[in-house]
Every structure is written in C-alpha cells, then in structure tokens.
A = this chain, B = another copy of it.
Amino acid sequence: MKLTERKITTELRKHGYKLTPQRQAVIDTIVASQDLLTPARVYEKVSREHPDIGLVTVYRTLELLSRLGLICELHSGGTCPTYTASNPEHHHHLICSGCGKVVDFTGHNLAPLENRLARESGFRIQNHVLEFIGVCSACQETK
C-alpha cells in the first residue's frame, strides 16, 4: 500500500515540521512516481512545475522523509542512492558486475522472513533490497 500525500503531510505536522510548498512538490513527485528516483531525477521532475526550487532543498527533503520512514532509501548497484515511497510494487534485481546490465525478477516472497525480523528486532520494516550479483552470459564470453 502506497503512502498517500495526505498521510505524509499529516506525519510531517505531527513531528513539528513545516509544510512548505517545496516539500509538497517533492512529496507529490515521489508519490506519483512508480520508479526508484535519484535525487537528481526528483529535482528534474520537480523543477518542471517549480523552476525555482533548489537541488539542496530536494536533498534535504528526501533526507527528512527518509528519516521519518515515509520514503525508503535504496542502494541498488549504481553509484547514487534512490528513493521511493514506502512499500511500492516490488521487484528485485540481478546485476551483471561486468557490464552493469540489470535484469528484474519477481516471485520470491520474503514476507515470512520480514515478519520474523520485525518481531525479533523491533524494527518497523518498510522495504527491502534483494540483489543478485553475477556475470551475464555475454560477459562470460568476453575476455
């Protein structure tokens, strides 16, 4: 279940943070997107509607939302972190360490493990990353 914009703004208020137009814009963008977004990509999308928002503010907002657990920060292979609203439609990655090719896959249910971990650790778990790293068939042939 994706977080709604409403839920997020309520959470912000509850923790004493102000609800600025800039934050609204970043939240809208994250919630509306199906993809994992890098900070630069969020900035690009936000800028279309709000040209005078600063990249710095995007970084700050992402950091805040992530800290409050309203969005998730993931590190999937590339050099930049990516963000997504909590509990998105989920898929996993198979990454080639040779050429960087990424293949998506689905169909593995981690819910039982997630429940066990939540119970044992006290964490409120929002998301997970499952990546396999290997060498794709093309790269196995290359010298």
Interface residues of A, Cβ cutoff 8 Å to B:
15-16, 66-69, 72-79, 81, 94, 96-98, 103, 105, 108, 113-114, 117-118, 121-137, 139-140, 143
When C-beta atoms are compared, the residue in chain B nearest to A63 turns out to be: B97
Q: With A72-B97, A96-B123 in contact, is A128–B128 under 8 Å at CB? A: no
Task: Collect the chain B residues with CB atoms within 8 Å of residue A68's CB.
Answer: 98
**Selected contact of A16 from candidates B69, B133, B143, CB within 8 Å:** B143
CA distance A109 to B81 in the complex (A): 27
A14 → chain B closest CB, angstroms: 8
Evaluate contact between A76 and B75: CB separation under 8 angstroms.
yes
When C-beta atoms are compared, the residue in chain B nearest to A118 turns out to be: B134
Besides A68-B98, A69-B139, 18 more A-B contacts (Cβ < 8 Å) are A15-B143, A69-B98, A69-B140, A72-B97, A75-B76, A94-B121, A97-B126, A103-B121, A103-B123, A123-B132, A123-B136, A123-B137, A125-B134, A127-B134, A128-B131, A129-B129, A130-B130, A130-B131
Evaluate contact between A129 and B130: CB separation under 8 angstroms.
yes
Q: List 26 A-B contacts (CB under 8 A).
A: A16-B143, A67-B97, A67-B139, A69-B135, A72-B133, A73-B97, A74-B133, A75-B75, A75-B77, A75-B131, A79-B81, A94-B121, A94-B123, A94-B125, A97-B126, A105-B121, A108-B113, A117-B132, A121-B137, A126-B133, A126-B135, A127-B132, A128-B132, A129-B129, A129-B130, A129-B131
